[in-house]
Structure 1
């Protein structure tokens, strides 16, 4: 990402990446599955805690990402490769469809406060794409304006997440289970492609492969 010039292209690209990286889609199906036994008030509380945890974590990552990269002697390319690998594992699970048993099926008690933080806030809402983008952006911002742009878009996406997950019961009534499963599989395949692209971009940045591979 080139933050030297802030234009519509940069804003659109960053917003799209953050919608994938901390938007509601990846967390939606796990949220519905894990909260199905709770009433509407508890679901809304879980949603609020999930969004708050994700946005605070995102801002901390953005504030400290560049410092951590320097302390650990890692590059943006290495971060992109690592993010691509972790995202691929998550995306392949989505693409395979719902195969895991719910907590209720296993007889395990579910703590709303705990599931709101993990796994719903991280790694479902704030997923490897978001973490990777924020770490790289932290290292590449060149001014207060560019840093403000990233923070502003994070808060914008978080506001959208908040609207979705605090009104999840009303939205769920309009969602058909079959369409949710299909969209989960399709989005999983698309995310796998994003993971591959992250991995390839990281290898290019590390100089392991030629930039012509990405064209």
Structure 2
């Protein structure tokens, strides 16, 4: 990311990455599955807590990412490789389609716990978002560039809030077959993103000559 010039291209690229890394798509199917036994007000409450947790976590990562990289002596390339590996595992699970669900000993689901994990992290704020925020934290060069990232984080969070607090209305318009197909297709696309992150990280570390397209 080059924050020297903040133009429409940079903003569009960041927004697209954040929509993948913090947008509603990856978390949508897990949210519907994990909250299917709850009533509408409870689902909305879980959605609010999930979005709040993911947003606060994203802001903390962006604020401290550069410092953590210096303290741990890691580079943006290493972060990209790690993000690609973790995202690949998540994406392959999505691409494989729905698996058989097993009831965990009949234990009741704690809505506060699932709102934080796994719904907020790693589904809503997923490895792409974490990777992008850490790298952006280390590359911002001015108040304007930092403000741009912050505004985009809050914009995506507002979209998440709108969707997950009105999930009952949206769920009535969603066909199960369409959700499954979109989950598989998006999983394949995310697998490609994971591979690109991995290759980009290798390029930044000088291990290979290939780098992510600008």
**Normalised by the shorter chain, which TM-score bucket?**
over 0.9
Q: Deviations over 1:165-197 (max 9, x none)?
A: 000000000000000000000000000000000
TM-score, reference length from structure 2? 0.97
Using the TM superposition, give the Cα deviation of residue 108 of structure 1 relative to its aligned residue in structure 2, in angstroms.
Answer: 2.3
- Structure 1 partner of 2:31: 31
Q: Distance in 2 between matches of 1:214 and 1:167?
A: 37
- Structure 1 partner of 2:147: 148
- Structure 2 partner of 1:135: 134
Using the TM superposition, give the Cα deviation of residue 9 of structure 1 relative to its aligned residue in structure 2, in angstroms.
Answer: 0.2
- Structure 1 partner of 2:108: 109
Is the alpha carbon distance of 1:121 and 1:213 closer, same or farther for their aligned partners in structure 2, counting shifts above 3 Å? closer
The answer to whether residue 88 in structure 2 is matched with residue 88 in structure 1 is: yes
Matches within 5 A, 1:41-190: 41-101=41-101, 103=103, 106-190=105-189
Using the TM superposition, give the Cα deviation of residue 211 of structure 1 relative to its aligned residue in structure 2, in angstroms.
Answer: 2.8
Runs of 4+ more than 4 Å apart: 212-215
Q: Distance in 1 between matches of 2:67 and 2:136?
A: 12
Using the TM superposition, give the Cα deviation of residue 109 of structure 1 relative to its aligned residue in structure 2, in angstroms.
Answer: 1.2
TM-score, reference length from structure 1? 0.97
RMSD between aligned alpha carbons?
Answer: 1.3
Q: Distance in 2 between matches of 1:196 and 1:43?
A: 34
